[in-house]
A = this chain, B = another copy of it.
């Protein structure tokens, strides 16, 4: 295991990437149209978890029986393993109101992180959180209320983020439709980004989303994976580690909605290489500034406790203009390239 890169060295590396080496880096970060063919050893999809639920209100239609058993709570996982895979697998975990699409082709049609990591030799797993995308939901309550068998206030608190509110949440600008100076998000393709957003069931769950134990099971099944989470799911890898550290080879928490409390039990995280990564304009956001402060406290506490935890705020390293959706920003593959470097230095390669 190589020694951890110090904060100063990480800063120096990033500054270099944004400076003189940017030309060389650009050679690596070629768009898909001119990239070499992608050589896939194996690809496919499967589910993790899930349990049976019996219900008498599965349907109000004559063609489908109201009573029966359905399976819910499972997490959809799609994966690609490159020929000559040489790294510990990465698992890409999307945030609020989004699905695994987050990591695929960007709104303006560039290569997503899903393919970039495969091209860098990482077996890459992309999930849809439980009750999102291709991971099932239970319609029973809708039908119970529709039939007068349950009160309207029993409906789950499903929500969608409107464009106007999401604008500030995703830090495209201070408020809709103002744009932060130097914004790297491809706003000319904004409509394509809005199409990625789906209804979110997370508030209908108890405190711990079922995605968390599913991530833990996935990590154990893969015998080691780096959990790369974003925003709403930022806390999930930490919650999974608190359940069981087995299989969690690293945590990259991108713009997390929260970090573990600095005064909580930090022992589950102490042996795991951890990176907390933020983009730009955080201090200008009433929503995000406190979250960054809280994560700084966690990282400081981890360092005092001997943990291998690092916080990187991109503009502090010279990389400017990144929104909350930094995996889709114009410099998304430059950030991915930097992240691959961080992982190579900090996460032990998987032994097979």
Query: Which residues of A come within 8 Å of B, CB atoms?
Result: 32-33, 37-47, 50, 52, 55, 58-61, 64-65, 67-71, 74, 76, 78, 83, 99-101, 104-105, 109, 111-112, 115, 128, 133-139, 142-143, 145-148, 152-153, 155-166, 191-192, 194-199, 203
Contact = CB atoms under 8 A, between A and B. Distances in A.
Nearest to A46: B105
A105 to B, nearest CB: 4
B134 A160 contact: no
A233 to B, nearest CB: 15
A269 to B, nearest CB: 26
A40 B43 CA distance: 12
B134 A101 contact: yes
A37 B162 contact: no
Contacts of A69: 162-164
Contacts of A138: 160, 199
A99 B194 contact: no
**Count of this chain's copies in the oligomeric assembly:** 2
A188 to B, nearest CB: 15
A127 to B, nearest CB: 12
A51 to B, nearest CB: 10
A133 B133 contact: yes
Contact of A71 (B139, B148, B197): B197
B78 A194 contact: no
A187 B137 CA distance: 23
A146 to B, nearest CB: 4
A150 to B, nearest CB: 9
A71 B189 CA distance: 14
Given A133-B133, A146-B155, 18 more contacts: A33-B42, A45-B104, A45-B105, A47-B196, A50-B195, A58-B160, A58-B162, A59-B157, A61-B159, A64-B159, A64-B165, A69-B163, A70-B163, A71-B194, A134-B198, A136-B195, A139-B158, A146-B157
A199 to B, nearest CB: 4
A192 B146 contact: no
